[in-house]
Amino acid sequence: MKKMAVVSGGSWGTALANLLALNGYGPVYVYVIAEKWLTEINEKHTNEDFLPGVKLEEDVVATMDWKDIKDAELIVLSVPSHVLRGVLKTLKTHLGDRKPYLVSTIKGIEEGTHLRMSEVILEEMGSEWGDRVVVLSGPTHAEEVSRRLPSSCVVAAKEKKVAELVQDIFMSPFFRVYINPDIAGVELGGSLKNIIALAAGIADGLGYGDNTKAALITRGLSEIARLGLHFGAKMLTFAGLAGMGDLVVTCASMHSRNRRFGILIGQGKTMDEATQEVKQIAEGVRTCRAVHHLTKDMDLELPIIHKCYEILFEGKNAKDAVNDLMMRGAKHEIEEIAREDFQW
């Protein structure tokens, strides 16, 4: 491939553009929405608002003109979930009949439609784009990838050859890429873990310890898998990078805006106060609301997710929510698979 582009000059979009430039695909064009970022990236080769202290490759080129990316053969989509549909409408008008590969790195579920991001892409671009849409996810904080710290992710696509193509493009000595055919599982793992990270942050803000964090991660993964299986995902995906891997790093790291947001809520801050302090979008907030409305009438046990919703949107006291979770009726730990191998 001769030309690549990234839509959004946020932390992850910039980090991936820099990775592609390091892999020899420059110039890599990054679409930004502010003159400030355009000037800084092109003249100083930095993006201090999102990746402070990181020097970018000179082949990372910022643009505010869609014409600069319309002929790219691969376009990375790294925008917030709630603006994706609008971005796609604009992109489609500039692409004409061209069908570049679209690599979604967006971890969210659209409110209202409850669609995964790849489903939003196909709805806007057309079903004939099915073999051009790729999902990239995993435990990959932009702050660490941009500093070339060893990281791994997973790529999912409808066709294996497409997944392998994108795998080869992004693979580097510090960025290892695996492939997986389970698009739904990879997307849901990456989206739902943000809700559990909010819960982990709330627990941290309340002053709880490692035991609490371990319980939230483990039982949170159970909820992610339960919901994922309901929508056709594969159980093993949630044991991998897009599931357990992403969940652990997001619940444990201060790079995680969802965890940081949760900490502030646990400390008694309002939603507005937490949003102002974190300064970036905590996707888990919108995802929590979307999942709550999607599943509230379903026969699915998602107690952590629904308690997060109550804390964020109904004013539930966080300590009372924790008490509710702890005092639920006794359960089998492996309820989904408690058959012959798990019977007394």
| pLDDT tens string 39-78 | 999 999 999 999 999 999 999 999 999 999 999 999 999 9
> If pLDDT is split at 50, 70 and 90, which confidence band does 340 have?
low
> If pLDDT is split at 50, 70 and 90, which confidence band does 333 have?
confident
Contact 261, 198 (CB under 8 A): yes
pLDDT reported for residue 337:
58
Q: How many CA atoms lie within 13 A of 100 on its CB side?
A: 24
The domain defined by 4-181 carries CATH number 3.40.50.720:
yes
Res. 177: pLDDT tops 90: yes
Q: Whole-angstrom Cα distance, residue 295 to residue 299?
A: 8
Average pLDDT, the chain: 94
Res. 343: pLDDT tops 90: no
Res. 344: pLDDT tops 80: no
Cβ atoms < 10 Å from Cβ of 171: 15
The two beta strands, 60-63 and 28-31, are: parallel
Domain ranges of the chain: 4-181, 184-337
Q: Whole-angstrom Cα distance, residue 192 to residue 246?
A: 10
Contact 302, 291 (CB under 8 A): yes
pLDDT reported for residue 280:
74
CATH of domain 184-337: 1.10.1040.10
Which two three-digit tokens encode residue 311? 């804390």
Active site residue 193: yes
Q: Whole-angstrom Cα distance, residue 193 to residue 189?
A: 6
What is the signed CA dihedral for 253, 118, 84, 94, rounded to 10 degrees? Answer: 130
Q: Whole-angstrom Cα distance, residue 33 to residue 90?
A: 13
Omega cis (within 30) before 150: no
Tokens 């969802």 found at: 258
Res. 244: pLDDT tops 90: yes
Q: Whole-angstrom Cα distance, residue 176 to residue 159?
A: 20
N-to-C CA span, the chain: 57
- Among 70, 107, 193, 307, the active-site one is 193
Domains 4-181 and 184-337 share a fold: no
Cβ atoms < 10 Å from Cβ of 268: 11
pLDDT reported for residue 335:
66
